Structure 1
Amino acid sequence: MAERLDPRARFDSHTRQTPWDDFHAAYFAAEVLWNHLTVPFHLLSSVVHMEEGKPWQEDGAVWQALHVTYLDEFATPSKQQTFYFGPEGLLRRIDFGFDLLGPGPAVHYASRHRHFDGIVVPTRCRVHVRNPNGTPALESTFLAIDIEDAHYF
């Protein structure tokens, strides 16, 4: 059985051109998925600072923005993120940079929300490069996660 101790530290010398192995991919996907599945709960943590941002318009909808800064002890793909919530209060989008790989804007879409044990979960996660104007570069998907089922205990 293979293992890697301190997987985040293995990104320290990475650039965007450094090849990833299975551990890199698994660690990054786990950070994104954890972030994705624990909103809004982790936003109540003492290691999070929040500030309301300007609304964002996309696909004919207006989403409320929340700028979030995490302290170092919180494992997340980016210490600075902007969360966007639709008029129904559901997470729709997260803008962030890849702290593990140096600066590089990304956009994470959360969709196909479903109820599991009374908790609403976005069951589709797509991460794309973010263009300078804030739009996603949809021609390439950096990470795709689909959740079929979930249980909360």
Structure 2
Amino acid sequence: MNIPEKDFEWVWSDPSHLDAHIRDFLIHPSELLDSIFEEVAEMKPEEGLIREAFGKKREIWLQQSFQLSEPVGKSGLKNVCEDDSSSFWGYRIGRSLPSHLCLGEKELTKSLCLWGRWEPGKFVIHTMYPGQVAPREIHDPELPLKELQDAIDFWRCHAIVVSEGEYTL
């Protein structure tokens, strides 16, 4: 019997994506990655498929929420349609594209979102944050046109929670 290889290493594509969320974590991200390694390994495509896709410059992405047994941090997303919260469009500090924002307090969550792609022998992390999976923001130039309607539907009712001083208009 040929058992697929489930060994891989974590690699950050751009550590600044983690920097944007680091204050939201209650548990160090490296510990969280250790705790979900086996679950992610089960989702890993066969290494041959990864190599083939990589050779053809195609990317195999994984965007997944994991439920952990204890709070991992504070979620930066809020459903503003559920509680009729006021929201607005603004620019998060260090960002050049507008985001749907709301003022408020982030809430504890046991959910962890991991978003990245498979490469031979590694999982390249695009971002990781406490909370549920969210689509790319509607102004993201890398948002595929076929995903635009789903993004609009999501971001119409969801906003990123910020405090005074964390955004500009």
User: TM-score if structure 2 supplies the norm length?
Assistant: 0.27
Please identify which structure carries the higher helix content. Answer: 2
Please identify which structure carries the higher strand content. Answer: 1
User: TM-score if structure 1 supplies the norm length?
Assistant: 0.29
